[in-house]
Structure 1
């Protein structure tokens, strides 16, 4: 509200006056709704200033949305026109309704389109209860591009349901009841779509959801999203006649089950009435109404807790353990201190922890590709090498991840050699055992035990080479990042131009030196010469070690001479 209070816009001042003349005392509900909606509109409009990335992303999102609406119109038209017995459209409507609400539930995790600028904690200083704020926050939540396309999409489906009911309803009475139920049922579904992410976000902002829980939730969100994307990709690759017949049986069943859940109940009511199923329609209407009431009350409680915690402050959990900074396996030297600090980062900071979670998910995808399609077994081996390379590239912005805390290294006089090598050692402790296990287990699963040693050597070569390249890139092109504890799915720092350039440079630095080893490996595989393949693995490891040594030396010189200048680039979180 401060943005509106301090705004020179006379219309904003008029809204405040209408809301009660001041931000205390009684207030009319409609005036507060208008005020919060106007505030959200101002904040959303101003968020595009000097933010080219968001503007471009919104434009592309709008284009994808328009394309999706065109595809939805075509789908509904085909279903209405080509479905002779009228049994297909109800299945599609029930399924689409369930998926739509499910996507909105997942929005707080993937953070596409969810603008939490009206965080309840920011409103805690104003004398307004959660009950007073809820209607305005709900209306403000509707000011977004996803809401616009949701309304358009539901409108398109509603028109299709009306036409379908006129053609295939069980009788004139059921046709009229279905048409009358379309607008309230589908509008209630849209309200549920808006309520669920607001309730989840408010819960995440409350003390009932600890910071560690929110961080783990973000990491789990990454794993779920990646697993879903990889799962759909695998599904597309395994489509054949038997698989298609299987899904023709499973999808209608899933649609019927989803219609009995709070996710899809409301969207199923009109088609139930058109089919003459009045009892299922009434039960599903009650399920949908009860869901809205429960979510509304949950949201109110989470708002109260969030605003209260914002005023009181987050208390420590009380179970924090104090441990030595330098781990037992290292000496009490600057190197040991840096390694110990980095180990804590990898365990506690969601920005680091997320990169560890991604690796097994990616590897599982490549392994599944090899298992479901014997012709793609080579992809599984490539997946191990790719995960090894990515684990090395992860260190490409260590200076940026330090952020404002980098001044400690400068004032304490930590040698650049210890500063960089301690970070590499911590990374090695976390990732090397997993990579070695993967390089051994994958060939055994694929029936290629003869490739274990070359794969181990090649994976280590890419990994250690990645450490050297990343250390150098991190001292040449650091970029500011989000603060520790940020939900990884809501971190936009990695989408900046500086981050993209740095990642491209690091990727090229890892793979380009390995091209000779790759060429020899291909030669050995084509010639079916195991010794040549083994030589390629040994060459890859040798190249990786050389890149690591030279990369660290150059990075140490750069950090020693220009740490202060590098700190100025990253001393603020974004």
Structure 2
């Protein structure tokens, strides 16, 4: 039975590459890139073996980072390969003592698992000058990879029921996105606060060495230092952690095959919500529906989360370099990002786009409703981003120009996106899926569409950028007011033109748009 399940996993893995040529090409390119990076890191570990002052600490940190990454990102963000999820075997009556080890072994039949093992083995080359330590390092690398995969599988099973709840998915996505965005600035601040590298490497590695994340990874360093007490303790802790984790995984597998997690239930609606505060018109109905997306659909969360994250990122960067110039570009950048976000509105509608087709909503009403929703969500943080940097830095002469460029960027982005979304669609994550998921075989089309849309926005902004740059260089509020006037006139004009032109294309291409969103499923 174990061999049969492993063959099934291999067959599923192979069939996944046959779904589309684009997916196969993407996997090959990604795999070659990953192998190239692993080769470079292995070569670096080999070449710096004689000069590395912290081989033991570095091994612990690398191993702990790998285990922590497997423990956090896949279970909460994407999940392990769900084709062999334990709940799928509920109808086959396979004994848990057979199914659990089979699924554990099947977890290693994946590209990420193989690359993880190769990467950890490559990192162990930093011990090449000591053959005995190198042998222990290679064994500990494999053990660390096993710990990572088992911990990922266990947490995935435990999180399966929670992932069926929309609020849990939204919360975990938001937390992980904020963590990924802020980890660079946080690490930079910690490292810069230390006088030298040992001030943060030594304490962190000493703590991680006795945790499930770095117990096995600490073995080669302890052996090289002749610290046999630590070697014995870390080896014992690693075995205990691994054995306990396997028992927990077996128990969780058995529970999942007996009582699979409940399916997600439809949300219970109470009252009209935002529909009762918008005008009772087709434009108002589309606006209310789009507002529900902005407030509840995690796929829109990236655009919303970037609003508070960009100031933090620019502030950290300015603190490191001493130059806070980028803070004055917050408004235009946020305006472009928010305005551009509605270019995928039709794609995000998916099959719900049929409501717009069947009810005969006019193109202008559809375009105007989506624009109004985005404008309502974005205008307040946009104005704050445009005015606060100048006010806090006591450079009030910047206010007119910053406001002009920010509002122009936002309005022009909304106008261009209103046209683009009526003409071009591309595959996006389906409702309820991981918002970070990239549908296979669409990378080139998505990149070209987004690049073209952004390029048009940049060209249309040139008449506002010219007086804005003049005002910045000469510290001229008069030139700033010119940028403000040109920005408002140009932005409003292009927004209205985008709604009108996009509405015409929308009405003309409704059948093609409906067909496109059905194919994108």
Is the shorter-chain TM-score for this pair beyond 0.5, marking a shared fold? yes
- State the shift of 1:79 in Å: 4.3
- Which residue is 1:503 aligned to? 450
Question: Secondary structure of the residue that 1:206 maps to in structure 2?
Answer: helix
Secondary structure, aligned partner of 1:422: helix
Q: Say if 1:339 and 1:425, in contact at 8 Å, map to a contact too.
A: yes
Deviation at 1:184, TM superposition (A): 4.8
Shift of 1:523: 2.0
Task: Look up the match of 1:186.
Answer: 141
Q: Within 5 Å, which residues of 2 pair with 1:542-561? A: 542-561=489-508
- Number of the residue aligned with 1:118: 84
Counterpart Cα distance in 2 of 1:505 and 1:316: 38
SS at match of 1:202: helix
8 Å contact from structure 1 (residues 76, 157) kept in 2: yes
Residues 424 and 296 of structure 1, relative CA distance in 2, 3 Å threshold: farther
Measure how far apart 1:209 and its partner are. 5.7
Q: Which moved more, 1:452-461 or 1:472-481?
A: 452-461
1:296 aligned partner = 246
For the 8 Å contact 2:303–2:337, the answer to whether it is kept is no
Equivalences for residues 122-201 of structure 1 within 5 A: 122-158=88-124, 160-161=126-127, 163-164=129-130, 181-182=136-137, 184-201=139-156
1:463-474 aligned within 5 A: 463-474=410-421
Tell me, yes or no, if the aligned pair for 1:520 and 1:533 is still in contact at 8 Å. Answer: yes
Aligned to 2:232: 282
The answer to whether the Cα contact below 8 Å between 1:222 and 1:489 also exists between their aligned partners in 2 is: no
C-alpha spacing 1:299/1:268, structure 2 compared with 1 (3 Å)? same
C-alpha displacement at 1:153, in angstroms?
A: 3.0
Q: Which residue of 1 aligns with 2:292?
A: 344
Aligned counterparts, 1:474-553, within 5 A: 474-492=421-439, 495-553=442-500
Q: Which of these residues, 58, 69, 73, is aligned with residue 38 of structure 2?
A: 69
Is 1:219–1:488's contact at 8 Å kept on the other side of the alignment? no
Alpha-carbon distance in 1 for matches of 2:152, 2:17: 23
Is 1:332 matched with 2:301? no
In structure 2, C-alpha distance between the alignment counterparts of 1:419 and 1:137, rounded to whole Å: 48
Tell me which of 135, 155, 169 is aligned to 1:214: 169
Cα distance in 2 between the residues matched to 1:388 and 1:264: 44
Taking the aligned partners of 2:44 and 2:15, their CA distance within structure 1 comes to 37
Which of 202, 212, 220 is 1:270 aligned to? 220
Stretch moving more, 183-192 or 339-348: 183-192
Instruction: Determine the structure 2 residue equivalent to 1:18.
Output: none
Contact 1:110–1:489 (CA under 8 A) maintained in structure 2: no
Q: 1:81 to 1:62 in 2, by over 3 A?
A: same
In structure 2, do the counterparts of structure 1 residues 283 and 538 end up closer, same or farther at CA, with 3 Å as the change threshold? farther
Q: Give the Cα separation in 1 of the matches to 2:441 and 2:315.
A: 28
The CA distance in 2 between the partners of 1:489 and 1:571, in whole Å, is 20
**2: CA distance between counterparts of 1:301 and 1:489?**
31
Please say if residues 34 and 115 of structure 2, whose CA atoms lie closer than 8 Å, have aligned partners that are also in contact. yes
Q: CA deviation at 1:554?
A: 0.6
- What is the CA distance between 1:201 and its match in structure 2? 2.6
Q: TM-score, normalised by structure 1?
A: 0.82
Offset of residue 479 of structure 1? 2.4
Of residues 344-353 and 108-117 in structure 1, the stretch that sits farther from structure 2 once superposed is 108-117
Supply the distance in 2 between the matched residues of 1:433 and 1:309 (Cα, whole angstroms): 48
Q: Deviations over 1:88-136 (max 9, x none)?
A: 3212222222222222224416969954432334333322355432212
Change in 2 beyond 3 A, CA 1:227/1:117: farther
Which residue in the other structure is 2:400 paired with?
A: 453
Q: 1:203 matched to which residue of 2?
A: 158
Unaligned runs of 5+ in 2: none
- Contact 1:493–1:499 under 8 Å retained in 2: no
* Contact 1:215 1:487 survives alignment (8 Å): no
Tell me, which stretches of 5 or more residues in structure 1 are unaligned? 1-31, 167-174
Aligned 8 A contact 2:194 2:200 in 1: no
Q: Establish whether residue 90 from structure 1 lines up as the match of residue 56 from structure 2.
A: yes
> What does residue 36 of structure 1 align with?
5
Residue 60 of structure 1 deviates from its aligned partner by 3.2
Structure 2 CA distance for aligned equivalents of residues 222 and 474 of structure 1:
26
Residue 428 (structure 1) aligned to one of 375, 395, 402: 375
1:103 aligns with 2:50: no
The Cα offsets for residues 458-480 of structure 1, whole Å up to 9 and x where unpaired, read as 21211111111111100001223
Q: Deviations over 1:185-244 (max 9, x none)?
A: 433212111112222332332357623312332333222222235556x66xx99xx767
Cα displacement (A) at 1:251: 1.9
The normalised TM-score by structure 2 is 0.90
Change (3 A) 1:381 1:51: farther
Give me the CA root mean square deviation: 3.0
Count of residue pairs the alignment pairs up: 521
